[in-house]
Each structure stands twice: as C-alpha cells, then as structure tokens.
Chains A and B, each alone.
Chain A
C-alpha cells in the first residue's frame, strides 16, 4: 500500500505495546475523543512462500488461507517455491486458490513436496509422524543436531524420498 503507518483497532492495554516502542498511539484527527494505535509499515527485503503452481512468467496459484499475496505486495523481492512449474500462462484465480500475478514475483523455484512436513492444500496432508519425531528430537541440542543431519544436511532428493515415505505412512 505504500503507507508510512496504519491504525490498528486493538492492542491498547496489551503489554505488547510496552515491548514494542515503535507501536504508538495517536489522537484520531477526525474524532478527537478517540485514541488509536498505529504501527509502522513493514517492507521485507525478501519474501519467500510456497505455492501450488507457478508459471514461467511468475504467475502463482497459492493457498487462500495464507497471506501470501500481501507478502508479495509488501516485499522488495519475492521468491516463490511451487509444487509444480507449469507451462502456463496461468491467467487468473481458480476455485480453492489465490492468484498472485507475476507483477509481484521476482523468481519461481520448482520444489515438489516443498511444504513437507506441513501439508500443501489438497496435494498432501500434514506428516504427523515426522512432526512428532521433530518435537521429540528438538528437546535436546544433540537431538536437534541429529534432526539437522538426518533431514536438512542431505540432498533435496534424499529428503524427498524420506518425505514421500512419511506421507505414505499416513497418520
């Protein structure tokens, strides 16, 4: 939106206001009886989000539960990973998806299973067994290091093979 700040209807009386000195209050210039909270604009240098599909022009179909389009509008650079890069061009919204036009998108990257171990719309659900394993390992430094070694510091293809097994395992 290109605004320097925006009023937020709420937050007053919350200790969040104490922790965030950049959150201020103003008298409503149109109604002097009212005080409003204002917060400064966020302009991310880079936004990265995962989508269902993207085309070579940067057009993207993504999950309507997420605020991906707002992210893309706000950021200087937007990188989209997608389950699938299609020939396209994607021309607009489809039922069940939010359309992000390529105008906002800097780069697209094909990343099948890119949401794992979280789910991705209708393509695959949450891998609950994997998340339980992560929760167990992440309790200790050693366990967390083990998790990184097993799932993060491996080639993408190895990870995907494990992910497919995890999704197949079901819940």
Chain B
C-alpha cells in the first residue's frame, strides 16, 4: 500500500522524534521512511546521533551486514527499526508467513536478521505503513522476532514504540503490550480501534501527534533529501517531486 505523502511525512517526523541526541542508530534494508527519520533527527534535534544506513555510501563496515550484526550484538546499537506483515499486541513481529507456515496465504520476505537485531538494539522502534486489523493483530500467525525473550535468555533491548499513519504507541514493558500515546491529527479513538486488530490500551490522556513543524519540513527538504536520494531515489522523487532543493 502506498501512503499519501502527508501521512508519510508525519510518520517520518514521528519516527525521528523517537531518536535522542548522541544515540547510535541503524537502518536496515528497504526502510526509506526510517532512513529519512534517522537523518531528520540528526539534522533537527540530535546532531551527535550516529546514523548508519545500509546501502548509503557512508556505510562504515567492511564486511557488510555481518560486521553490522557484530557491532549491534556487541551492544553498540542504540536504536533500530523493524516492521512486519503482522505486528501483534505483545510486540511480536511476523516477517515470515500469513496463514499456516506450510501453506501460507501470503509468503512474506523473511526474517533478515530481525530475530537477532530485536534482541541486540537497546530500543527498537516498530513502524507499520498500513494500520489495519489484518496487520495489527492480537497474535501473529508466525513469530519471526519475539517481543520478549523466554526465561534464561539474555536480551539487551526490545520494543520501544510503534508508529503507524494513525497513531503512536508506547511499549509498556511491565504489561508487555502497546499503549496508545497519541493519535494522528483527524483520527478518533473509535476510528483507530476499528482499524486495529487488538483492544487498544491507554494509560492516562491520549494526545494528538504534533503535525510536522516548519523546522522539521525545512530540515527534510534541505538536509535529508540529498542523502535519501543516494539510497532511495524513487522514494525521494515521490516524496519531494522532481525539482532540486
């Protein structure tokens, strides 16, 4: 599903706001929204964040993703992004198959290391570009990357937030569930509930996700755009149009 441009920009801003100054941020494959968000954070409010984007010429590693995994496993990755065909209330991610594994209705792209990086990164920010009952579910059909580790296994980090076009969720580590933090402008609780396959939870007041600020938009246009175009030319073209900044 292709998002409206406005919704894409809001998601980029919402993802960027999760990143704090000085953090080491990794962006994996096929994640143009997250690459834009990481560079937006760096340009806007996290100047000392270190951003590593797979596919970008500034990729610092010599041995490809293997060295990136070593770096993450060593505890040096603060923030990573993951998505999935299904994400459930417990923070489990399905990147493998919808329906029975042996005869899936939809075969998804595969784990691609998510079951390790979800353990390794201190905070993983989940994102889902389609907020629908079949994508945000009570229980994923296949747990590719689990929200929590079974007893006895060491795990450095886990889910921190979930960003969709309709809402931003916080992760409640004690209850192991998503909690609505804010709704996108124009969304209602009932509308978002109807689009979500699990019962929404809230702790206290639910706010509205601030729309993109002029400062954020300025950073996107001037500082993020040229770097994004080096990795995701089609996406950048679609987001910003053909004209040069």
Interface residues of A (CB under 8 A from B): 8-16, 19, 33-37, 63-70, 93, 96, 98, 125, 128, 171
Chain A residues whose C-beta falls within 8 Å of the C-beta of B155 in the assembled complex: 10
CB neighbours of A69 from chain B (8 A): 62-64
Known contacts A15-B101, A33-B152, A34-B153; A65/B59 CB under 8 A: yes
CB of A96 within 8 A of CB of B142, answer no
Main secondary structure of the interface of B (DSSP, over half): loop
Contact between A98 and B96 (Cβ–Cβ < 8 Å)?
no
B115 within 8 A of A: yes
B237 proximity list for chain A (CB < 8 A):
171
A15→B142 contact, CB < 8 A: yes
CB 8 Å contact bits of B97-125 with A (1 = contact, 0 = none): 00001000000000100011111100000
Chain B residue with the shortest CB-CB distance to A62: B64
The count of residues in chain B whose C-beta lies closer than 8 Å to any C-beta of chain A is 35
CB–CB A19/B233 < 8 A: no
**Candidates A13, A33, A70; contact of B64 at CB < 8 Å:** A70
* Chain A residues whose C-beta falls within 8 Å of the C-beta of B203 in the assembled complex: none
Answer yes or no: B57 CB below 8 A from chain A CBs.
yes
In the complex, the answer to whether A34 meets B154 with C-beta atoms within 8 Å is: yes
List the 3 closest pairs (A to B, CB-CB), nearest first: A10-B116, A13-B146, A10-B119
Further contacts, 13 of them, CB under 8 A, given A63-B64, A98-B63:
A10-B119, A11-B115, A12-B146, A12-B149, A13-B146, A13-B150, A15-B101, A36-B153, A65-B55, A65-B59, A65-B64, A67-B64, A70-B64
B148 smallest CB distance to A (angstroms): 7
What residue of chain A has the Cβ atom nearest to residue B113's Cβ?
A10
Which residue of B is nearest A31, CB measured? B154
* Beta-carbon nearest neighbor of B97 in chain A: A15
* Residues of the B chain whose Cβ atoms lie less than 8 Å from the Cβ of A98: 62-64
B152 touches A35 (CB 8 A): yes
- B6 → chain A closest CB, angstroms: 24
* Docked pose: A68 CA to B65 CA in angstroms: 10
**Chain B residues within 8 Å of A, Cβ to Cβ:** 54-55, 57, 59, 61-66, 73, 96, 101, 111, 115-120, 142-146, 148-150, 152-155, 233-234, 237
Write 24 A-B pairs (CB below 8 A) sorted by A numbering.
Answer: A9-B116, A10-B115, A10-B117, A10-B120, A10-B155, A11-B116, A12-B150, A14-B111, A15-B96, A15-B142, A16-B96, A33-B152, A64-B64, A65-B55, A66-B64, A66-B65, A68-B64, A69-B63, A70-B63, A93-B62, A96-B57, A125-B233, A171-B233, A171-B237
B152 and A34 within 8 A (CB): yes
Whether A64 and B59, one on each chain, are in contact in the complex, defined by CB atoms closer than 8 angstroms, is yes
Contact of A171 among B111, B117, B149, B234 (CB under 8 A): B234
Taking CB atoms, residues of chain A closer than 8 Å to B144 are 14-16
| Contact of A64 with B61 in the complex, beta carbons under 8 Å | yes
Complex CA–CA separation, A70 to B111 (angstroms): 20
Contact partner of A13 (CB less than 8 A), chosen from B55, B66, B143, is: B143
Q: How far is the CB of A42 from chain B (nearest CB, A)?
A: 13
Most chain B CB inside 10 Å of its own CB: which residue of A15, A37, A69 = A15
CA distance A68 to B61 in the complex (A): 13
Chain A residues with Cβ below 8 Å from B65 are 65-67
Q: Hey, which chain A residues are within 8 Å of B146, CB to CB?
A: 12-14
Q: Looking at the complex, which one of A13, A15, A63, A66 makes contact with B149 (CB distance below 8 Å)?
A: A13
A15 to B96 alpha-carbon distance, docked (Å): 9
Chain B residues with CB under 8 Å of A66's CB are 64-65
